[in-house]
């Protein structure tokens, strides 16, 4: 059974499938890649997918290539969420490694506007063990990126105080 891996943090410049395929070439010929591109501009949307033969090969690729420097940017590689019927690949941008419960991310994080969805209201994730304060409606950062977000906030604060 084949396994799909999410490859995130791709540069949003010209990235082709062949570029990504060259990175994973040493993993074998059975590895296939796909770069998700914007339909209007044709530029990379910052993520793609790698398909491998089995879980063992997927684990080896994650271990070997997670953090791999590709065009001066470290790649983020995780097992991808399984596709649900009728869902487009562009909406598969959030990986399954989130053990905190909200594995699919919020509707706002995915763009919120699904084609053919009609006028449906976005779902809210309700956790029974949390208190309902005014902050529960706020978008919370993904815990996997919290440290990078904190660094960016500090850099921004330093820029505003210096300039």
pTM summary value: 0.52
User: For position 101, what pLDDT does the model report?
Assistant: 43
What DSSP designation does 112 have?
Answer: S
Write out pLDDT tens, residues 37-66: 999 988 899 999 999 998 999 999 999 999
- With a CB cutoff of 8 Å and minimum separation 6, the contacts of 59 are none
Lookup result for tokens 């706002």: 108
**Range 19-35 average pLDDT:** 88
Looking at the domain 3-83, which fold is it? Alpha-Beta Plaits (3.30.70)
Question: Nearest CA to 7 among 72, 79, 71, 111?
Answer: 79
| Angle at 77 (CA atoms; ends 71, 79), nearest 5 degrees | 155
- Higher-pLDDT residue of 29 and 90 is 29
Backbone angles phi, psi at 56, to 5 degrees: -65, -45
User: For position 12, what pLDDT does the model report?
Assistant: 85
User: For position 103, what pLDDT does the model report?
Assistant: 44
**Range 75-89 average pLDDT:** 76
User: For position 65, what pLDDT does the model report?
Assistant: 92
Write out pLDDT tens, residues 100-152: 444 444 444 444 454 555 566 666 555 555 444 545 556 766 777 778 888 88
**C-alpha–C-alpha distance, residues 124 and 107, integer Å:** 8
Q: Cβ distance 23 to 69 under 8 Å?
A: no
**C-alpha–C-alpha distance, residues 106 and 124, integer Å:** 8
- With a CB cutoff of 8 Å and minimum separation 6, the contacts of 134 are none
> Is the per-residue pLDDT at 96 higher than 50?
no
């Amino acid at each position: 059974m084949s396994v799909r891996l999410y490859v995130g943090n791709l540069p949003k410049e010209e990235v082709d499938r062949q570029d990504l395929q060259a990175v994973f070439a040493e993993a074998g010929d059975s590895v296939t890649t796909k770069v998700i591109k914007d339909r209007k501009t044709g530029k990379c949307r910052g993520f793609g997918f790698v398909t491998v033969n089995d879980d063992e090969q997927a684990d080896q690729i994650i271990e070997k290539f997670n953090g791999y420097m590709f065009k001066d940017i470290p790649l983020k590689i995780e097992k991808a969420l399984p596709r649900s019927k009728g869902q487009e690949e562009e909406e598969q941008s959030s990986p399954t490694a989130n053990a905190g419960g909200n594995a699919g991310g919020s509707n706002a994080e995915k763009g919120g506007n699904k084609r053919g969805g009609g006028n449906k209201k976005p779902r809210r994730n309700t956790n029974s063990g949390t208190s309902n304060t005014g902050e529960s409606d706020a978008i919370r950062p993904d815990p996997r990126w919290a440290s990078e977000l904190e660094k960016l906030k500090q850099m921004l604060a330093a820029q505003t105080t210096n300039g």
